[in-house]
């Protein structure tokens, strides 16, 4: 089941088309990576999903119903530019934001207590936001985003500015919520984070949906039969007949084979010629590589 169905959405501003005929399906219970360079149109698309702006054309279904403002109560959005009311106390602020999301006072208070307990920050309740460090504010902001148990969480660059310990804490929470059935849109321009935690991704460039799918499938689709072999022993050089050598030194070779069968043959040939194989590894392209190739039009 899809939590979000985006069909042919277009949004243009005065001089440029920010979202250009994008269609996407975001299933329930996955972490969905939305990737693209700065200015690709990710934030414009997010603003359409959160009903901050309306698309010029196209359709969006939330939980199979046409998207309306009321649905924002079931969303949690953490913008890239973080912000809280600086002069408000942490507890009051969370209570206010939770109630705006439709929680009753009792519900809000108990869920805030739960999160304070979980993050071990009980003594922050009466602190003013401006007295917290930036990383601490991020934690508060994260709680504000997820405390009303939304069905869809949208995180724009959630790890920027977090120290590794807090980043891990947030990451674990994201994964836990995914496992409980929440869908998470994870927007970033830092591709390496995506491979670690995303189930599905979409690549957006210049407002267009460039590539979409399962992370592993995409990697398999765009793999180049690139292998790295580490070995011992002196063998006659006949590597060229198996493929194009991209890198070679005394006892390691990286080779782009014509097919995976060729790689098998190469391995067989090496063993037959007395080489001692230390490791044989397929090198899959990183999402970053795929993205760059895609954008440069090399695929």
Residue 44 found at the interface with other proteins (CB under 8 A): no
Tokens of 173: 């929470």
**C-alpha to C-alpha distances, 223 to 136, 190, 281, nearest whole angstrom:** 41, 20, 13
Give the closest residue to 229 by CA, choosing from 188, 189, 198, 271. 271
Q: How far is CA 184 from CA 34, 43, 129, 178, in A?
A: 10, 15, 26, 7
**What is the closest distance, in whole angstroms, from the C-beta atom of residue 220 to other proteins in the complex?**
36
DSSP category for residue 128: B
- The verdict on 101 binding other proteins (CB under 8 A) reads yes
Considering beta carbons, is residue 87 or 250 the nearer one to other proteins?
A: 87
Q: Which of 77, 116, 124, 159 binds other proteins (CB under 8 A)?
A: 77
Q: Residue 2 interacts with other proteins (CB under 8 A)? A: no
CA distance 126 to 109: 14
**Two tokens at 23?**
């269609």
Q: Report if residue 250 touches other proteins, rule: CB under 8 A.
A: no
For other proteins, which residue of 88, 136, 235, 299 counts as binding (CB under 8 A)?
88
Q: Please give the Cα distance from 22 to 38 (Å, whole number).
A: 17
- Looking at the Cβ atoms of 92 and 282, the one nearer to other proteins is 92
Q: Quick one: which of 97, 143, 153, 203 contacts other proteins (CB under 8 A)? A: 97
Q: Quick check: 74 binds other proteins (CB under 8 A)? A: no
Collect all residues with Cβ–Cβ distance below 8 Å to 66 and sequence separation of at least 6: 59, 60
CB of 14 to other proteins, least distance (A): 8
79 forms part of the interface with other proteins (CB under 8 A): yes
Q: What angle do CA 161, 77, 121 make, to 5 degrees?
A: 55
161 binds other proteins (CB under 8 A): no
What are residue 255's DSSP bridge partners? 227, 245
Q: Please, which residue, 77 or 231, has the CB nearer to other proteins?
A: 77
Among 8, 16, 54, 122, binds other proteins (CB under 8 A): 54
Q: CB of residue 46 vs other proteins: minimum separation in angstroms?
A: 9
Among 24, 30, 60, 78, binds other proteins (CB under 8 A): 78
Q: Which two tokens stand for residue 113?
A: 């207590």
Q: Give the pairing type, strands 2-12 and 57-62.
A: antiparallel
Determine the Cα–Cα distance for residues 119 and 135; give it in Å rounded to an integer. 13
Residues 6+ apart with CB under 8 A from 12: 18, 19, 56
Residue 274 DSSP code = T
The distance of closest approach from Cβ of residue 160 to other proteins in the complex, given in angstroms and rounded to an integer, is 13
**144 contributes a contact to other proteins by CB under 8 A:** yes
Candidate residues 82, 139, 178, 200; the one interacting with other proteins per rule CB under 8 A: 82
Q: Is 85 in contact with 113 (CB distance < 8 Å)?
A: no
The mark string for 111-140 relative to other proteins (x by CB under 8 A, - otherwise) is ------------------------------
Using the contact rule CB under 8 A, the part of the chain among 53-61, 162-170, 244-252, 272-280 near other proteins is 53-61
Q: For other proteins, which stretch binds (CB under 8 A), given 50-58, 59-67, 119-127, 200-208?
A: 50-58
The tokens of 130 are what? 């401006």
Give the footprint of other proteins on this chain (CB under 8 A): 14, 47, 50-54, 56, 69, 72-73, 75, 77-79, 81-88, 96-97, 99-101, 144
């Amino acid at each position: 089941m899809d939590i979000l169905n985006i069909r042919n959405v277009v949004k243009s501003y005065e001089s440029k088309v920010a979202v250009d005929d994008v269609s996407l399906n975001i299933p329930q219970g996955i972490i969905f990576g939305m990737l693209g360079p700065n200015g690709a149109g990710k934030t414009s698309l997010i603003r359409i999903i959160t009903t901050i702006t309306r698309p010029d054309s196209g359709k969006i279904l939330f939980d199979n119903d046409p998207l309306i403002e009321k649905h924002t109560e079931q969303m949690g959005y953490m913008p890239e530019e973080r912000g809280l009311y600086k002069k408000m106390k942490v507890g009051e602020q969370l209570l206010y934001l939770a109630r705006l999301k439709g929680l009753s006072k009792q519900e809000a208070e108990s869920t805030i207590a739960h999160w304070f307990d979980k993050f071990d920050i009980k003594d922050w309740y009466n602190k003013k936001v401006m007295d917290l460090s930036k990383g601490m504010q991020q934690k508060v902001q994260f709680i504000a985003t997820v405390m009303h148990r939304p069905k869809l969480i949208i995180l724009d660059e959630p790890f920027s500015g977090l120290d590794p310990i807090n980043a891990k804490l947030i990451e674990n929470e994201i994964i836990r919520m995914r496992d409980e059935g929440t869908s998470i849109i994870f927007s970033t321009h830092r591709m390496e984070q995506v491979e670690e935690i995303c189930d599905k991704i979409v690549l957006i460039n210049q407002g267009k949906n460039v590539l979409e799918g399962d992370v592993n499938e995409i990697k398999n689709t765009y793999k180049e039969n690139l292998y790295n072999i580490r070995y011992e022993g002196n063998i006659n050089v006949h590597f060229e007949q198996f493929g194009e050598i991209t890198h070679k030194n005394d006892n390691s070779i990286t080779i782009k084979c014509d097919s995976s069968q060729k790689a098998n043959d190469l391995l067989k040939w090496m063993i037959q010629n007395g080489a001692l194989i230390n490791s044989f590894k397929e090198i899959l392209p990183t999402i970053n590589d795929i993205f760059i190739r895609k954008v440069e039009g090399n695929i």
